Amino acid sequence: MFPENRPRRLRANETMRRMIRETHVRANDLIYPIFIKEGNSLTEPIIAMPGQNRYSPDRLPALAKDIVSLGIPAVLLFGIPSRKDSYGTGAHKKDGVVQQGIRRIKDVAPDLMVITDVCLCEYTDHGHCGILDEKNEVMNDDTLEVLAQVALSHAKAGCDMVAPSDMMDGRVGIIRDALDEGGFEHLPIMSYAVKYASAFYGPFREAAGSTPAFGDRKSYQMDPANVREALREARADVEEGADIIMVKPALPYLDVIRVVADEFDEPLCAYQVSGEYAMIKAAAAQGWILEEACMLESITSIKRAGADMIITYFARELSRVLS
């Protein structure tokens, strides 16, 4: 028998395709990462991330207004301090680079959601995400105290949400306690709950100058081979008080996004990381792929896998295309 079932009937034209489309990407789903560098009048291109820059705090008001005008609800801030030390003290200075950045943005864009990355690797001279012992191992519990100070200093500077990305055990609980004691019981935590030790962070480390001086991050970030471990990590963070959980990177981990989305009721964020962005940019620059179509397809896939929101360096370009 000739097929009775003809799936192509529902693909015949764009109107029909629009009607049966299951996944929609909106500017509302996007979070734009910003690198803030100590200094003045700086807009420094990041070589490995074409189209992305490091901005000094005074350059943020114009950028923030642009982001608001595009309908993007949130930004994620990373800091690049002028001085680093072995304890990452620059991360919790009252007038640190992120703390300045938060104030600059909130001054001109009070409704733009300002999320801050809470980690030490951009502030330590050794580039690790925590404090080291005499054998150069990252000490978990000593690092927690510092992370709590960092989160509290961001809260005091006026951020709307903190996002711990260090992967120390117990950090969500410690940060929750510190925020509550500091009078910030309403400030949500978006935890990088499921963060893999990924080679796709390469361009970010160039951007932030945070490549570890020795070793790697495998003793705290997750093994790319594991998925049940993702559930354990997510469960631990939710039990400690995470309001939103994250899977990172995104495209190589769509299966992980799916299982975490199925298992947890918490809103789920996915991070399309620097290497994912750089790959599309680089291939498109060669004329080997179509940039806009690949950007849209990758973000659609991440949403389809179950992410409610996506951190992406494409946020601004994508919002322009969507509108």
Contact segment (CB under 6 A) with ligand PBG among 16-24, 56-64, 197-205, 222-230 equals: 197-205
Catalytic status, residue 248: yes
Residue showing tokens 């690049």: 80
Measured from the CB atom, the residue of 14 and 49 that comes closer to ligand PBG is 49
Rounded Cα distance between 14 and 32, Å, is 30
* Minimum gap (Å) between residue 12 Cβ and ligand PBG: 40
In the chain, DSSP assigns E strands to: 30-37, 43-45, 53-55, 74-80, 113-118, 131-132, 138-139, 161-164, 190-195, 244-248, 268-272, 309-312
Q: Does 191 bind ligand PBG (CB under 6 A)?
A: no
Measured from the CB atom, the residue of 201 and 314 that comes closer to ligand PBG is 201
Question: CB 11: neighbour CB atoms within 10 A?
Answer: 11
Candidate list 37, 84, 106, 195, residue with the active-site label: 195
Measured from the CB atom, the residue of 16 and 279 that comes closer to ligand PBG is 279
Q: Does 175 bind ligand PBG (CB under 6 A)?
A: no
Candidate list 37, 84, 106, 248, residue with the active-site label: 248
Q: Does 121 bind ligand PBG (CB under 6 A)?
A: yes
Contact segment (CB under 6 A) with ligand PBG among 104-112, 172-180, 199-207, 299-307 equals: 199-207
Q: Which of 30, 129, 245, 302 binds ligand PBG (CB under 6 A)?
A: 129
Q: Does 268 bind ligand PBG (CB under 6 A)?
A: no
Catalytic status, residue 195: yes
Three-state SS annotation for 278-311: HHHHHHHHCCCCCHHHHHHHHHHHHHHCCCCEEE
Q: Does 123 bind ligand PBG (CB under 6 A)?
A: no
Q: Is 193 helix (H, G, I), strand (E, B) or coil?
A: strand
Indicate the pairing of strand 113-118 with strand 74-80. Answer: parallel
Rounded Cα distance between 217 and 56, Å, is 28
Using alpha carbons, list the distances in angstroms from residue 159 to 27, 90, 173.
Answer: 21, 17, 19
Q: Is the separation of the CB atoms in 63 and 54 below 8 Å?
A: no
Q: Which of 35, 55, 201, 264 binds ligand PBG (CB under 6 A)?
A: 201
Q: Which of 100, 116, 149, 274 binds ligand PBG (CB under 6 A)?
A: 274
Phi, psi of 192 (to 5 degrees): -75, 75
Kindly list the catalytic residues.
195, 248
Q: Would you tell me which residues interact with ligand PBG (CB under 6 A)?
A: 117, 119, 121, 129, 165, 201, 204-205, 273-274
